[in-house]
Structure 1
Amino acid sequence: MPVCRECGRDMGFFGKVGDSCSQCKSAQLVGESDETISGPNETNSEINNIILTTECGTNLEIFERIEIVTAECAYGMNIFRDLFTSARDIVGGRSKAIQNTMRDARRMALLELKREAHAVGANAVVGVDLDYVELSGAGNMVMLVASGTAVRAKL
């Protein structure tokens, strides 16, 4: 298994970017030194600590607005969900399968938004907006786009 030349960690096939692991390469791109690169568990906890909010939160002092970050998440509805949805359209009621799919899409998009913010050195995302887009006319594919402004804030 290849080893990262920067930090010495083992790299999997998909975690390799040149001679460096993806974490070291990301750190180089955002200007971090080797000493500030954290391990996978620390990175996940840092990502989970990023907050999402509106622009004007009480007691949220923003030091720097870094850039706009976005995350996209596309989900397909399978044929069985489509059949049950058609029946629900006729008789009325809520479709738990589609609600669960949309909930999963929202959670994934917000997690990706946090990851994008972390990659640029932010500790918060403000002005978060979620937009749902139907990709096919038949409703088989839905995309969720999450966007916001990555900031450094006093938390």
Structure 2
Amino acid sequence: MIITTTSTIEGQPVHDYLGLVGGEVIVGANVIKDVLASVSDFFGGRSGSYERAIQDARAHAMREMQDSALKLGADAIVAVTFDYEVLGKSGSMLMVCVCGTAVKLG
């Protein structure tokens, strides 16, 4: 399945718009990741544990979106957007949302 942030796919005309599809994932930051992140921040490095958590959450949200599109009989998802929000009293949770339009290509 083609998944793109653009509203069109070159050489692939959209035959039918099937509707909006999306995926949402909320992940909590645990104490070990927090400690490792603070060590990385202190020494000026990147926080690999947080980066992996965000990548995993984004991949899971994309799978949910793709599964929804497949149920509608879509060939592609266009105009995909991503949103990341910090939630919780102490900002200890991250929400990843992905949304796009499921289409049938002609």
Asked which structure has the greater CA Rg, the reply is 1
1:52 matched to 2:15: no
Query: 2:43, 2:89 → 1: CA distance?
Result: 22
Gaps of 5+ in 1: 1-49
Question: Out of 91, 107, 112, which is 2:43 matched to?
Answer: 91
* Runs of 4+ displaced beyond 3 Å: none
- More relative contact order in 1 or in 2 (CA 8 Å, sep 6+)? 2
How do 1:3-14 residues align onto structure 2 when only pairs under 5 Å count? none
* 1:100 maps onto 2:52 in alignment: yes
Give the match for residue 133 of structure 1: 85
| Structure 1 CA distance for aligned equivalents of residues 11 and 75 of structure 2 | 15
Match of 1:40 in 2: none
5+ residue gaps, structure 2, are none
| Equivalence for 2:24 | 72
Give the distance between the partners of 2:2 and 2:19, measured in 1 at CA: 15
Q: Give the TM-score, by structure 1 length.
A: 0.64
Question: TM-score, with normalisation over the residues of structure 2?
Answer: 0.91
Distance 1:84 1:67 in 2: 41
The aligned length equals: 105
Matched, 1:115 2:67: yes
Shift of 1:137: 4.4
Task: Pick which of 133-142 and 103-112 moved more.
Answer: 133-142
The one-letter code of the counterpart of 2:3 is: L
Q: Which structure carries more strand by proportion?
A: 2
3-state SS in 2 of match to 1:134: strand
Number of the residue aligned with 1:148: 100
Give the CA RMSD over aligned residues.
Answer: 1.3
| 1:27-38 → structure 2 map (5 Å cutoff) | none
Aligned residue for 1:151, secondary structure, equals: strand
Report if aligned partners of 1:82, 1:140 keep a CA contact under 8 Å in 2.
no
Determine the C-alpha separation between the residues in 2 that align with 1:65 and 1:150.
6
Residue 89 of structure 1: CA displacement? 2.5
